[in-house]
């Protein structure tokens, strides 16, 4: 694979995202120069292989601003003035407020296009960087009113070069979307984890994987997130208001029950929350199906010895069934695992019949 991106690329801000972009570009042979307010963060990024430390008078073709979001607009404005031939983009998690700030300071936005790679980790900093961080991840391209076509093309090439999937969004649509799928989930995880500070110590001894998964992102950096949430407060409040309403309804039912598990309305209220949760999680694309296509699941017992999965997939291929997703639930103690094959709903019944005919045990009514 050869890079579409023409260097030198100047990356300003060598945290997790800036360093990861540098590493991915360096792997393609693109010249990368790095800048950061912190000399030690900068040295770490260089040592991770993200590029060299920017020299005086660097003349970049592209500037990637990867600073915290509350200084992003200022740094973009500076980059546009300092490098009059460069295209400039940023990777901040909020887009509308940055566009508005650039407009307010009269920046030359023909050369600016916003972007937001939908990739991250709960760990921050160059030390957590990964050249594969963006592989197959969405990368939002959010032009402003004045963005030139050439600038959009160059930023899209950057996304493709680091292995991401460019998606076009208006800044406002982007901000509404990330409120739902990123900012509110972060706050809910933090609110849940915060409630553990009030739990008796012995309670924590009963923690399981469910709690760990639900609170994993509560490890996130408070300073970074204060800036993100501050930059998208209206959209976040809108989503949180809905959750708050549901929570207060639930709390009301629990209180009214006064400890009686069969109190009128209690089971219905709890079931409503759980069922809405089932519906919501089904909308997440990827594992377990979801939007926009719906998949049917075919569950089949798979013996725990090498070769059987290969045979399963070969035989599904012979039946011309396209496998949309697959998960194997395996137990070291069981003689069998359960393979869950997601297929087009129309293909499910023929696939079950074919597999049964070929000696597989197909589980019905799984879920």
- To a copy of itself, the closest distance from the beta carbon of 350 in angstroms equals 14
- To a copy of itself, the closest distance from the beta carbon of 148 in angstroms equals 25
- To a copy of itself, the closest distance from the beta carbon of 84 in angstroms equals 29
Nearest CA to 99 out of 150, 146, 132 is that of: 146
Residue 9, classed as helix, strand or coil, is strand
Residue 303, classed as helix, strand or coil, is strand
Q: Which is nearer to a copy of itself, 150 or 223 (CB)?
A: 223
- To a copy of itself, the closest distance from the beta carbon of 211 in angstroms equals 5
Q: Which is nearer to a copy of itself, 87 or 239 (CB)?
A: 239
Q: Which is nearer to a copy of itself, 31 or 308 (CB)?
A: 308
Q: What is the CA radius of gyration of the chain?
A: 25
Q: How far is the first Cα of the chain from the last one, in angstroms, to the nearest whole number? A: 42
Q: Which is nearer to a copy of itself, 349 or 366 (CB)?
A: 366
Instruction: Using DSSP bridges, classify how beta strands 296-303 and 336-343 pair: parallel, antiparallel or unpaired.
Output: antiparallel
In the chain, how long is the greatest CA-to-CA distance?
Answer: 74
Using the structure block, give the residue that is written with the tokens 């120069």.
33
Q: Which is nearer to a copy of itself, 150 or 234 (CB)?
A: 234
- Compute the distance between CA of residue 40 and CA of residue 46 in angstroms, rounded to an integer: 10
Confirm if 95 and 155 have CB atoms less than 8 A apart: no
The residues facing 143 across adjacent strands are 113
Nearest CA to 186 out of 124, 125, 240 is that of: 240
Q: Which is nearer to a copy of itself, 108 or 195 (CB)?
A: 195
Confirm if 273 and 279 have CB atoms less than 8 A apart: no
- To a copy of itself, the closest distance from the beta carbon of 120 in angstroms equals 7
Confirm if 10 and 58 have CB atoms less than 8 A apart: yes
- To a copy of itself, the closest distance from the beta carbon of 86 in angstroms equals 25
Q: Which is nearer to a copy of itself, 53 or 180 (CB)?
A: 180
- To a copy of itself, the closest distance from the beta carbon of 7 in angstroms equals 18
Would you say the C-alpha torsion 170, 235, 13, 189 has a positive or negative sign? negative
- To a copy of itself, the closest distance from the beta carbon of 244 in angstroms equals 5
- To a copy of itself, the closest distance from the beta carbon of 2 in angstroms equals 16
Residue 166 host element (H or E): strand 165-168
Q: Which is nearer to a copy of itself, 18 or 289 (CB)?
A: 289
CA 19 to chain centre: 18
Query: HSE-up of 190 (CA within 13 Å, CB side)?
Result: 14
| Tokens describing residue 316 | 């599904």
Q: Which is nearer to a copy of itself, 58 or 193 (CB)?
A: 193
């Amino acid at each position: 694979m050869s890079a579409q991106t023409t260097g030198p690329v100047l990356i300003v801000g060598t945290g997790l995202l800036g360093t990861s972009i540098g590493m991915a570009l360096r792997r393609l042979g693109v010249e990368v120069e790095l800048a950061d307010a912190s000399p030690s963060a900068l040295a770490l990024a260089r040592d991770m292989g993200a590029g060299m430390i920017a020299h005086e008078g660097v003349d970049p073709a592209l500037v990637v601003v990867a600073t915290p979001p509350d200084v992003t607009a200022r740094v973009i404005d500076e980059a546009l003035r300092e490098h009059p031939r460069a295209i400039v983009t940023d990777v901040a998690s909020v887009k509308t407020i940055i566009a508005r700030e650039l407009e307010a300071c009269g920046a030359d936005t023909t050369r600016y296009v916003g972007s937001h790679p939908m990739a991250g980790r709960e760990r921050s900093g160059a030390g957590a960087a990964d050249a594969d961080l963006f592989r197959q991840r969405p990368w939002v391209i959010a032009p402003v009113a004045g963005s030139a076509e050439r600038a959009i093309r160059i930023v899209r090439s950057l996304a493709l070069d680091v292995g991401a999937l460019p998606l076009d969004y208006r800044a406002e649509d982007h901000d509404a979307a990330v409120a739902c799928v990123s900012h509110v989930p972060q706050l809910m995880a933090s609110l849940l984890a915060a409630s553990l500070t009030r739990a008796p110590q012995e309670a924590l001894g009963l923690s399981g994987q469910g709690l760990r998964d639900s609170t994993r992102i509560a490890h996130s950096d408070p300073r970074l997130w204060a800036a993100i949430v501050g930059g998208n407060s209206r959209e976040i409040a809108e989503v949180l208001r809905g959750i708050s309403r549901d929570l207060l309804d639930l709390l009301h039912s629990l209180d009214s029950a006064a400890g009686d598990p069969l109190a009128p309305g209690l089971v219905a209220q709890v079931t409503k929350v759980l069922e809405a949760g089932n519906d919501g999680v089904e909308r997440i694309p990827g594992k377990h199906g979801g939007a926009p296509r719906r998949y049917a699941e075919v569950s089949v017992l798979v013996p725990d010895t090498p070769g059987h999965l290969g045979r399963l997939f070969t035989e599904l291929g012979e039946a011309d069934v396209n496998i949309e997703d697959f998960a194997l639930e395996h137990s070291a103690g069981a003689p069998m695992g359960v393979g869950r094959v997601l297929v087009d709903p129309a293909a499910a019944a023929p696939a079950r019949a074919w597999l049964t005919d070929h000696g597989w045990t197909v589980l019905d009514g799984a879920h």
